[in-house]
């Protein structure tokens, strides 16, 4: 489904910090990198570079190894140890024998370039680093996304629900889970073919994202025709926001039915996170199980196309 060849990685301008005690070198690098389409900030030594890194985010640092105040090796170690989002680092030196490539890489740099160097050599190294970073970002994205719908996958659900459960306890806000299943999806596939079935799931994924709060709630594809949604911070205390959660569920169901994809309809089970006396994962598992039970009730007792909220007094 996905293409990760080099031609699929688009050029992305970088914010680059150039560090060198020779002003002419800084000016040359800044001019060359700006010509290549990047944004450039310069610093005259390692200490000045760290100060600028504290104030601004850079994706790439190009640093000379021989500098006063703080040399390049110490700068690299400081960047790697003190920055939660460490930029890639290229080390520059006119004394290649003093600093071994392996030592520089071990300290945290991703590449090494020796003075004098050409613009072509610099461009090739920067482009390779940028391309590899973009590929890493894409691989990280693919690892948490469902390849068909683009929604987050079941594995990422475990990470998000754990984070949101902790937040729910800490801030005493509500956390609801919707468990959604497309009724008669097998029959739809049999009638229209698997390509049409895939297209329907893609449209449903888009519908889910359009029906929830961007950046607040999260939709996932669990697999097949099963989906989940986490609704956060709808209420707190005596009013956890059940009415709002039911409204969201009903909006999703109504919007799905407007797609007019007969014979399919939508069943939704709803549960709420509650903190018990045990580990928080036990509470998460209970919420997930209760949403599953609520969905089962809709499909088997209400014959689909409905919503059911799991009441705490229900058995199972």
Of 217, 225, 283, 292, which is the active-site residue? 225
Is 277 among the catalytic positions? no
Q: Can you read off the two tokens belonging to residue 248? A: 């969201």
Give CA–CA dist 79/82, Å, rounded.
Answer: 5
Task: Calculate the alpha carbon distances from 24 to 31, 44, 75, 130 in Å.
Answer: 10, 11, 21, 25
Q: CA-based angle 153:157:160, to the nearest 5?
A: 135
What does the DSSP 8-state code read for residue 145?
A: B
Q: CA-based angle 79:43:17, to the nearest 5?
A: 60
Give CA–CA dist 98/93, Å, rounded.
Answer: 9
Q: Do residues 15 and 39 make contact, with C-beta atoms less than 8 angstroms apart?
A: yes
Give CA–CA dist 207/249, Å, rounded.
Answer: 12
Judged by DSSP in three states, 175 sits in strand
Which are the contacts of 266, defined by CB distance < 8 A and separation ≥ 6?
A: 180, 181, 182, 183, 252, 253, 256, 257, 304, 305
Q: At what angle do helices 46-55 and 72-82 cross, to 10 degrees?
A: 20
Catalytic residues: 225
């Amino acid at each position: 489904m996905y293409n990760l060849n080099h031609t699929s990685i688009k050029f992305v301008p970088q914010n680059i910090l150039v560090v060198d005690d020779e002003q002419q070198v800084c000016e040359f690098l800044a001019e060359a990198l700006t010509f290549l389409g990047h944004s450039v900030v310069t610093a005259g030594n390692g200490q000045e570079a760290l100060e600028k890194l504290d104030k601004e985010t850079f994706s790439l640092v190009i640093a000379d190894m021989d500098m006063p105040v703080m040399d390049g090796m110490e700068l690299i170690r400081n960047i790697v140890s003190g920055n939660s989002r460490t930029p890639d680092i290229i080390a520059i030196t006119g004394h290649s024998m003093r600093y071994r490539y392996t030592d520089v890489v071990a300290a945290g740099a991703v590449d090494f370039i020796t003075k004098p160097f050409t613009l072509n050599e610099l461009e090739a190294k920067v482009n390779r680093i940028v391309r590899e970073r973009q590929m890493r970002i894409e691989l990280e994205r693919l690892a948490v996304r469902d390849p068909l719908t683009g929604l987050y996958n079941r594995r990422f659900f475990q990470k998000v629900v754990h984070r949101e459960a902790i937040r729910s306890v800490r801030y005493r806000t509500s956390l609801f889970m919707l468990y959604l299943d497309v009724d008669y999806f097998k029959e739809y596939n049999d009638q229209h073919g698997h390509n049409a079935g895939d297209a329907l799931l893609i449209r449903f994924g888009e519908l889910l994202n359009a029906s929830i709060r961007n950046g607040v709630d999260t939709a996932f594809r669990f697999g097949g025709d099963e989906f989940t949604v986490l609704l956060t911070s709808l209420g707190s205390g005596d009013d956890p926001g059940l009415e709002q959660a039911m409204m969201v569920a009903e909006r999703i169901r109504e919007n799905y039915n407007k797609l007019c994809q007969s014979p399919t309809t939508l069943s939704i089970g709803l549960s709420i996170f509650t903190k018990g006396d045990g580990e928080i994962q036990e509470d998460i598992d209970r919420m997930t199980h209760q949403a599953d039970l609520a969905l089962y009730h809709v499909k088997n007792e209400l014959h689909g196309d409905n919503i059911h909220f799991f009441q705490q007094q229900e058995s199972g």
